Structure 1
Amino acid sequence: MKVKKIKKSILIIGLGKFGRYLALKMQDFGNQVMVVDKEEAESQKLATKIDDIFIGDCTNEEVLKSLGVTDFDICFVTIGENFESSITITMLLKKLGAKYTVVKTGSELQSELLRKIGADEIIYPEKELAEKLALKYHTGQSMKSYLELNKDYSIIEMEVPQKWIGSSLMELDLRKKFGLNIIAIKNSNSVNVVPEPVESFREGDVIVVVGQHSTILKYIS
């Protein structure tokens, strides 16, 4: 059965590097994307790649009204270098009835202020990238990818620990002993999703594991 792709209507305000990358990727996924920047020079960088480009200052309420913000599924505010503008635009988006606002920030203090004025989601890309890089190189690059579920739990893609090679999931009993769940085993030939208890680990396997950060780090540090 094919999964139907749901296209979204996306508004992106602010065309620095982050905003441009976001706009192009959202369009690649098949979404309807409008980008806005007050500087024509920034807008021109996407002129041949994004169909719907608007030049205007979104700190002006009338400009935002003209865009019809309630028609967009998600409104992104990616003006990280001008926090005053980010606050103003976020407040106006909420006032005008935006369905969901995602705001790029550059510090914890900014994040707190944005939450107080009603931002639905806050992204802090520099911090998130730094945390992932720190963990990757702290573990000797045995970690391939990392998704934080909350402050205690993560999903991590990692090389199988040497001491597990040759043993099966049943023998290791990771769920009972350590609260770890192996949800996939990958190798050069295939991906085994939800492996059987008798599945044994082999040299070169990459596993996808869910569990507490502290417990997983014991095996990859």
Structure 2
Amino acid sequence: MLQIAILGLGSFGIRMLEELSAVGCEIIVVDRDAEKIDKYKTHARAVYITDVINKDSFMKIIPSNIDAAIVDFDDLLEPAILTTHYLHQMGIKNIVVQCENDTHGELLTLAGASQIVYPEYEAAKRITPLLISKQLNSYIQLSTDFAIAEVEILEELEGKALKDCGLRNNYGINVIACRNKDATEFTTISSPDFVFSKDCNILIAGNKISIEKYIKKDIKKERSGTKFLLDRFIKKSK
């Protein structure tokens, strides 16, 4: 069972607490707000109310061999930096910190954060591509240059078998699964003989340029001179 420490019950910390507890993780929660602790204590194995942020107090309540720590003090930078620094000194390798902007992210990385999360940026990155193209139904950026997207089938692919479509050569994408537009579940495509139908949505994987190349036919001509907005919503990895 994974052991996770959540230090600070900001909105991101609360959401992570709910999600991690739902999948059976063993969670330790630390926050200075007694009301929040009381509200969410049933989600955790142990809870601690403290205003003290120092290495000694953390060593008493957080095992040094814990699998990961999540830090979220909303937009309070000083406690986030101190907490991250002490966790790093304790030898905790996986430290995920919620952050508001790039400047704070750089400071937190220097303090020892292994991953910086920008909730507003992540939300914008997911939603904006969906607004740009009618053909793009969902979009998940998994790394700096790799994403998974659900897209509608192109007219040129209707009635063709996967092996005859040249999606990898023409667009640089791989097809993972498909579903009928009226269905909710995807079916894995394992055969090159699979034939695409008109009402088929496909789940594709590739980099942002490859996905842009596939969906750009759906972008209006007056936008053709403007680079697709995926670029501006993909942040360079630290």
Partner of 1:21: 15
**Aligned partner letter, 2:191:** E
Question: 1:218: Cα distance to partner?
Answer: 3.2
Partner of 1:4: none
Alpha carbons 1:186, 1:192 under 8 Å: kept: yes
Query: Is 1:45 matched with 2:39?
Result: yes
Give the direction of change, closer, same or farther, for the CA distance of 1:178–1:101 in structure 2 (3 Å limit). same
Unmatched tracts of structure 2, length 5 or more: 220-238
Partner of 1:88: 82
Of 128, 150, 159, which aligns to 1:157? 150
Equivalents in 2 of 1:190, 1:84: separation in Å? Answer: 45
Equivalents in 1 of 2:51, 2:135: separation in Å? Answer: 44
Give the direction of change, closer, same or farther, for the CA distance of 1:59–1:141 in structure 2 (3 Å limit). farther
Question: 1:70: Cα distance to partner?
Answer: 0.5
Partner of 2:235: none
TM-score normalised by L of structure 1: 0.87
Equivalents in 1 of 2:41, 2:2: separation in Å? Answer: 21
Give the direction of change, closer, same or farther, for the CA distance of 1:107–1:92 in structure 2 (3 Å limit). same
Partner of 1:198: 193
Give the direction of change, closer, same or farther, for the CA distance of 1:72–1:190 in structure 2 (3 Å limit). closer
Question: 1:140: Cα distance to partner?
Answer: 2.5
Question: 1:141: Cα distance to partner?
Answer: 6.3
- How many residues matched? 214
TM-score normalised by L of structure 2: 0.82
Query: Is 1:132 matched with 2:114?
Result: no
Question: 1:115: Cα distance to partner?
Answer: 1.6
SS in 2 for 1:70: coil
- Cα deviation, 1:79-111, whole Å, max 9, x if unaligned, reads 131011100100011112223211111101111
Query: Is 1:214 matched with 2:209?
Result: yes
Question: 1:121: Cα distance to partner?
Answer: 1.2
Of 176, 184, 194, which aligns to 1:183? 176
SS in 2 for 1:129: helix
